[in-house]
Chain A
Amino acid sequence: DTGVSQNPRHKITKRGQNVTFRCDPISEHNRLYWYRQTLGQGPEFLTYFQNEAQLEKSRLLSDRFSAERPKGSFSTLEIQRTEQGDSAMYLCASSLLETQYFGPGTRLTVL
């Protein structure tokens, strides 16, 4: 399967801990997006990379959130000092042209 993969699929953590998620995009896709989805809502945009450059960040992305895409390949999203409000599904998508291809997401639960 050459689709977008995300790891881990599920993460349970205690409030105040740091967590890191990984996204492996479809090979040769130069654009990579992170979204967050809470129950009953559509996904919300967090940030976007073109190759290794982070070109846009939502104001939802507080200073506790950081994303990287070294060498324009996989990407990581780190949340420091997690809060209960960070509990959500974190989705990654990649694209080469117009269509975005989504991964299965990482479900974060903060206790």
Chain B
Amino acid sequence: DAKTTQPNSMESNEEEPVHLPCNHSTISGTDYIHWYRQLPSQGPEYVIHGLTSNVNNRMASLAIAEDRKSSTLILHRATLRDAAVYYCILRLPNEKLTFGTGTRLTIIP
């Protein structure tokens, strides 16, 4: 499986935008970029995914570099409920998810 690299932790102020980076230099042409998050004491939750183009949904935006070797998850206005571990995962269609250790996001009130 292709690997991803994420910072171990990040902090952000409440109501500010948050940019969570992910490097995936060995991505293959058929790998989708998925983001899941895990709130304390809960199972992981889908956030967003994309292949080549930037993607937006009600939770977040995903910005994908032109060479696809990196991507950024953007939370437009962080709230305390966004405090979680965020996982960036490369995945072939319908395959299992291979989680790393993710980025622990702390929101400062």
B45, B93, B101: the one within 8 Å of A42 (CB): B101
Total interface residues in chain B, CB < 8 Å: 20
A40, B38: Cα distance in complex, Å:
12
Q: Is A65 an interface residue (CB 8 A)?
A: no
Contact indicator B96/A42 (Cβ below 8 Å): no
A-B contact pairs, 7 of them (CB 8 A): A42-B99, A98-B93, A99-B46, A101-B46, A104-B42, A104-B43, A105-B42
A-B interface contact total, Cβ < 8 Å: 49
Query: Given contacts A31-B94, A91-B44, is CB(A42)–CB(B32) below 8 Å?
Result: no
Residues on B lying within 8 angstroms of A by beta carbon are 32, 34, 36, 42-46, 49, 85, 87, 93-94, 96-102
A93, B45: Cα distance in complex, Å:
10
Contact indicator A102/B96 (Cβ below 8 Å): no
Total interface residues in chain A, CB < 8 Å: 23
Residues on the A chain within 8 Å of B43, using CB: 4, 91, 93, 102-105
